[in-house]
Amino acid sequence: MKKSIKSWLLTTTTIATLLTIPSLSTANSGVEKLTQNPANWATALGNYSGTRYSRLDQINTQNVKNLQPAWFFSTGVLRGHEGGPLVVNGILYIHTPFPNIVYALDQKTQSVIWEYTPTMDADVTIPVMCCDSINRGLAYGDGKIFLQQSDTVLTALDAKTGQRVWSVQNGDPKLGMTNTNAPLVVKDRVLTGIAGGEFGVRGFLAAYDIRTGELRWKAYSMGSDSDMLINPDKTTTWKDGKLQKVGANSSLKSWEGDQWKIGGGTTWGWYSYDPDLNLVYYGSGNPSPWNPVQRPGDNKWSNSLWARDADTGEVKWVYQMTPHDEWDYDGISEAVLVDQPIKGKMHKTIVHIDKNGFAYTLDRVTGELLVAEKFDKTVNWASHIDMYTGRPQGEAKYSPEQKGDDENTADICPAIVGAKSQQPVSYSPQTGYFYISGNHLCMDYEPFKVSYTAGQPYVGATMMLSPAQGDVLTGKPDGSYNLGQFTAWDATTGKIVWSNKERFSIWSGSVATAGGLVFYGTLEGYLKAVDAKTGKELYRFKTPSGIIGNVNTWEYDGKQYVGVLSGIGGWAGVGLSSNFCPPGYIGSATFTKLGGTLTVFSLPEVPDAK
């Protein structure tokens, strides 16, 4: 089951070939009002809080067994379909991986209202896209659809006509910069990040004017205080049992020489927003290169959670989950904003289920660390998070740096795909649980010295992935491992409530509903619905291809619908389109094949009683 991931990176790369003045504008995007109507699905995560929860209950635990496909739409693109549909005022908007086609669909006729295909240079862009040429979704605001193209161009389209209103270059693919993230519209800004950490790209979050595309602010993940928009006398972090000011040059002091200039910390995940606090929350990715020997220090502020003022970009607080990351444990997962009691006291919390296998609950106002526990019992690279220092307590046995270059460290859990990667969780206020689409893989890890060349892979490590040992799917005569698990998590206590094993990693984001359900997709292509309280499977349907997209739900003409993009690809399935199977997913080709399709589900019509 083990295979070198260095060869996978090289194969996919070869085949594919990885302070400004605040705006005075008073424009209002209208997004918050749209998200308050459950008939819409107006942001990638459903709402500003990122809960992926719907108040719709027409489909529930009693009748979900009757769910059936209502209609299908083929996207015409074969690569991995991450993200999911937006639904705004009855119009459904979907996107594809490269070449990033956008479709506006009429739900009554299931026909195309308009489509937009950007002009991009595949020979320049695709070779520097890590882990397939995916895209995670669209944003809506101020009557516009915002597309963050793979080639880093941010484009605003008229939502009614599909005509391009403006576009702006957000990065340079020739330097290894690409984009895969879904933007987020906040007030009169559209927020977007950057990808390319495996090419030495220095991460940032940027805010553009939704009407003109003018840059309003840009904040880096590492470097000088001015680059990061950090005020060293105001910005705080959790340290030694309390919140403390980060102090001057907090990032520069944690890097050797100028390594920070090519230090990673990219921002290809998800963004949330608290309108009352006017703070934007997100995570930054792994430091570059993967070889930890070449970058001594904590490498701040890679692998960190951020709270920034939406108007100015200034950092309120920052917390680093994995200082001096040795395992590629990006911190880009979504930040979910909920109010909940911790040890008898109500907090405005932020919940972050990290790639490193720990789930964190912090006070989103102050950044105080409240809970940090393992959500996968096989995690072994660290024994626990020291709640006083806020730092993980690493296990020397699983530290590649301690062995040095060209020495293998075996059986590290989780693997570089993380105990959870980008696939967003959902949260149900009915149960108080978070629902985690997880991976269940470990790895061997061998660092090697690597030199930086702009636009070329800057990795410096070889990995071999394997199933987490000791967890075999029960009742399977072939002894199949469970490479994935779907877990209900209590973020107030740091405890697993229940966990369902899956044959393959679950790369689909889930959605929780007021009908007592949680929906998610599997790599075999099944849309599944489980009871939110117990995890009992209540429904499954095999879609045309493996699902790595996020399940969304909305209402049209008085009826609740559930929709998901199927189309195997991304990290888990890129091998199916390049004749190479990433370690840990061998065998998935026997269950599914390529193909991009939107499948929309609903309950059958009930005949009128006569």
DSSP annotation string for 511-526: EEETTSEEEEE-TTSE
Report, as an integer, the average pLDDT of 529-550: 97
Report, as an integer, the average pLDDT of 107-123: 97
Residues pairing with 315 in the sheet: 308
Give the pLDDT confidence of 428-483 residue by residue, as tens digits.
999 999 999 999 999 999 999 999 999 999 999 998 888 887 565 555 555 567 89
Count of other CB atoms within 10 angstroms of residue 528: 22
Residue 157 has pLDDT above 90, yes or no: yes
Residue 449: is it exposed, middle or buried by C-beta count within 10 angstroms (0-12/13-18/19+)? Answer: exposed
**Mean pLDDT taken over the chain:** 91
pTM score, two decimals? 0.93
**pLDDT score of 92:** 98
**pLDDT score of 610:** 47
Residue 16 has pLDDT above 50, yes or no: no
Phi-psi region of 52 (alpha: psi -120 to 50; beta: other; left: phi over 0): left
Q: What percent of the chain has pLDDT over 90?
A: 84
3-state SS string over 142-182? CCEEEEECCCCEEEEEECCCCCEEEEEECCCHHHCCECCCC
Report, as an integer, the average pLDDT of 35-50: 98
**pLDDT score of 407:** 93
Q: Which of 342, 327, 263, 332 is nearest to 303 (CA)?
A: 332
Report, as an integer, the average pLDDT of 373-392: 97
Q: What percent of the chain has pLDDT over 70?
A: 90
Report, as an integer, the average pLDDT of 11-23: 34
Contact 332, 179 (CB under 8 A): no
Q: Measured between alpha carbons, how far is 101 from 118 in angstroms, rounded to an integer? A: 7
CA separation, residue 95 to residues 115, 201, 379, 590 (Å): 10, 25, 35, 27
With a CB cutoff of 8 Å and minimum separation 6, the contacts of 326 are 292, 381, 399, 400, 401, 445
Q: Looking up tokens 């999911």, which residue turns up?
A: 84
Contact 578, 34 (CB under 8 A): no
Report, as an integer, the average pLDDT of 142-171: 98
Q: Measured between alpha carbons, how far is 24 from 189 in angstroms, rounded to an integer? A: 11
Report, as an integer, the average pLDDT of 173-195: 97
**pLDDT score of 481:** 74
**pLDDT score of 468:** 85
Which residues are part of the catalytic machinery?
A: 328
With a CB cutoff of 8 Å and minimum separation 6, the contacts of 262 are 200, 201, 202, 288, 452, 458
Report, as an integer, the average pLDDT of 580-594: 58
**pLDDT score of 154:** 98
**pLDDT score of 327:** 97
Q: Measured between alpha carbons, how far is 392 from 403 in angstroms, rounded to an integer? A: 19
**pLDDT score of 594:** 79
DSSP annotation string for 279-334: EEEEE---BSSS-GGGS-S--TTSSEEEEEETTT--EEEEEESSTT-SS-----S-
Q: Output Rg (C-alpha) for the chain, integer angstroms.
A: 22
**pLDDT score of 606:** 73
**pLDDT score of 595:** 81
pLDDT band at 584 (very low <50, low <70, confident <90, very high): very low
**pLDDT score of 20:** 33
DSSP annotation string for 514-570: TTSEEEEE-TTSEEEEEETTT--EEEEEE-SS---SPPEEEEETTEEEEEEEE---H
Q: In order of start, what are the domains of the chain with their CATH numbers?
A: 5-602 (2.140.10.10)
**pLDDT score of 605:** 85
